[in-house]
Amino acid sequence: MPTPVFHRTQPLQTTNPDFRNQLNWLFSLRIVLLSLFLGLNFLLQSKGRAIIIPPFSYIAYFIAGVYLFTIGSALLLLKIKRYTRFAYAQLLVDTTLVTCLIYYSGGSQSIFLPLYFFPVIAGSIILLRRGGLATAAACTLGYGFVITLEFFGYHPSFFINFIYRPVDDLKVALNYFSIHGLSFFMAAFLSALLAERLRSTEKALTQTSRQFDRLSLLYKQIFDDINTGIITLDNQGCIRSFNRAAEYITGYQAKKVLTRPLNEIFPFLAVEQEKARPAVTLERQDGTNIPIAFSSTRLNMPDGSEDTFLITIQDLSDLKKMEEQVQQAEKMAAIGEMAAGIAHEFRNPLAAISGSAEVLAQGVGTNLANRRLMQIIIRECTRLDGKISEFLRFSRPLLPKKDWIPLENHIKEVVIFLQQAKTWREDIHIEINIPPSLDCWADDQQLNQVLINLLQNSCQILNGQGGTIRITAEDFTEAEGREMTRIVISDSGPGIAPAIRSRIFEPFFTTRENGTGLGLAIVQQIVESHGGSITVHSEAGQGTTFEVFLPLP
């Protein structure tokens, strides 16, 4: 099917800023042509009578009128919002001005006849096919009007001063009219064709540019937001790009590593060939070590100008934690299977020993040494039974039965309970700063266990030197939008060494001679069973702070 010369003209966007720019170009071109006409007029004044030139007064009035009209049009253009009718009016005025100029410069003999093409071409560019053809029709009618006046002998009186040969033959007049009219329409046709093709090309180019910008923005957003670190290198091994994930994983800012050699900052990432490493240890800028996986590949650039390498790095810290959690779960499953046997094999003999010791204690009479030995047996049996209960509680955690708990009163009761114990030291001061109206959504008994274990841990840290334990709580909203209750227990003790701090929640890890290493492990287990989390912050000589986060329903 043949391609049409003209496609269907789309409605003009009369509020398009480009339309206003085109009208401004029209005004500018009008002034330029008028200035050229003025200069040409002065040059032709000395050419004798062969070329008809209007008197200077006519030219002065004409030029002044055109300048004033153009200035007024430019000012009016700043206020109007719809430009189509305004453009048609401007083209009609231009056609009228050219017609007047031709009439007063000799009619069919005028040297300014080519000026008719100015409004025709301008109409085609600004208003496309419809505007160009309408302006061509107006120019044809204007020229026909001039030929008609000339044919019937109506011409300015100053023509007698020049060699003037009016058209007095009807066939010649019609010939002039048809040739010029046809040339106007041909000019409109061709200029409209070029203008529409140009506009279509500009539209396609704009759409392509927008799509390219959109894709560039998308690729940049992906490059910046993906959680995989991406590093690109040039053929000299220098870093060309460094995304946000790479900054987060390595701790280095992009502006500090760009253009620097890769092996200067990350020697183990040096790319000599395409390879993938399952896991290596990365030393971050702050000195901490994290496990990462990385791979490198060569990019085939479209122009083949230079070699470019791509390195991707992935932080395996969360994966390692998940592996540790799986191992811990497997360990807990094995411990759970042992729990029932331990309870049976140890508790029954302990009960027999404890009962026998109590009977013997009653029959030892006044022998204080034997009575003291029996009390030691009974006390140690009780302590061992408590350790077994603690171990069973850790290996077989109960699901929490949550309810609203008035937190201030609850914590005060726990503190009073601890202060009644024989091991309580009077040089330990406890400060409680909790809003009376604050309620916590938790299991009453399990929350008791969490608070007792944490407070006992703080007391043991302060043992022998005294100090202050501060307890605060508040409701707050996480970045993800979850509402939580935060309980903070801090002490003024010596703090925890970094090597120990990373292991304090591990089961059976303890630094005390008589400890089981289950207290903080049970705390973490209870908090996580509530859907919460616990963190510890401690620096040597600056005390220790535990933060417990419990979600609200």
CB atoms within 10 A of CB 240: 13
Mean pLDDT over residues 399-403, rounded?
Answer: 86
Task: Write down the pLDDT at residue 7.
Answer: 45
Closest residue by Cα to residue 100 from 43, 138, 143, 60? 143
- Give yes or no for residue 6 having a pLDDT over 50: no
Mean pLDDT over residues 281-285, rounded?
Answer: 83
Burial string for 281-320 (b: 16+ CB within 10 Å, else e) reads: ebeeeeeeeeebbbbbeeeeeeeeeeebbbbbbbbbeeee
Weakest mean pLDDT among 2-11, 227-236, 341-350, 416-425: 2-11
C-alpha Rg value of the chain to the nearest Å? 48
Task: Write down the pLDDT at residue 138.
Answer: 92
State how far the Cα of 389 lies from the Cα of 393, in Å rounded to an integer: 6
Weakest mean pLDDT among 12-26, 220-234, 443-457: 12-26
- Give yes or no for residue 527 having a pLDDT over 80: yes
Q: Which tokens sit at 518?
A: 């289950």
What is the chain's mean pLDDT, rounded? Answer: 80
394 band by pLDDT with thresholds 50, 70 and 90: low
- Burial of 265: CB neighbours in 10 Å, binned 0-12, 13-18, 19+: middle
Closest residue by Cα to residue 166 from 181, 144, 149, 178? 149
**Residue of 271 and 53 predicted with greater confidence:** 53
* Residue tagged 């309970």 (tokens): 417
Task: Write down the pLDDT at residue 25.
Answer: 82
Q: Pairing between strand 533-538 and 544-551?
A: antiparallel
Q: What are phi and psi of 311, to 5 degrees?
A: -120, 130
* Helix (H), strand (E), coil (C) string for 227-290: CCEEEEECCCCEEEEECHHHHHHHCCCHHHHCCCEHHHHCHHHCCCCCEEEEEEEEECCCCCEE
What order do you get walking across the sheet with 483-491 strand by strand? 428-433, 467-477, 483-491, 544-551, 533-538
Task: Write down the pLDDT at residue 353.
Answer: 75
Q: Around 409, how many Cα atoms within 13 Å sit in the side-chain half-sphere? A: 7
CB atoms within 10 A of CB 456: 14
- Give yes or no for residue 149 having a pLDDT over 70: yes
**Residue of 6 and 111 predicted with greater confidence:** 111
Q: Which tokens sit at 138?
A: 């107006």
Mean pLDDT over residues 531-549, rounded?
Answer: 87
Task: Write down the pLDDT at residue 445.
Answer: 86
Task: Write down the pLDDT at residue 66.
Answer: 84
**Which residues, including other chains, have CB under 8 Å from residue 168's CB and lie 6 or more apart?**
151
Task: Write down the pLDDT at residue 137.
Answer: 92
**Residue of 503 and 3 predicted with greater confidence:** 503
- Report yes or no: 261 and 275 within 8 Å, Cβ to Cβ: no
- Give yes or no for residue 21 having a pLDDT over 90: no
Mean pLDDT over residues 87-96, rounded?
Answer: 88
- Report yes or no: 105 and 111 within 8 Å, Cβ to Cβ: yes
- Give yes or no for residue 146 having a pLDDT over 80: yes
State how far the Cα of 145 lies from the Cα of 50, in Å rounded to an integer: 23
State how far the Cα of 224 lies from the Cα of 245, in Å rounded to an integer: 7
13 band by pLDDT with thresholds 50, 70 and 90: very low
- Report yes or no: 167 and 108 within 8 Å, Cβ to Cβ: yes
Mean pLDDT over residues 154-182, rounded?
Answer: 82
Task: Write down the pLDDT at residue 85.
Answer: 86
**CA 20 centroid distance within chain:** 35
Give me the helices (H) in 400-467, please.
407-419, 444-462
- The H or E element that residue 470 is part of is strand 467-477
**CA 287 centroid distance within chain:** 30
Closest residue by Cα to residue 53 from 144, 137, 162, 157? 162
- Give yes or no for residue 186 having a pLDDT over 90: yes
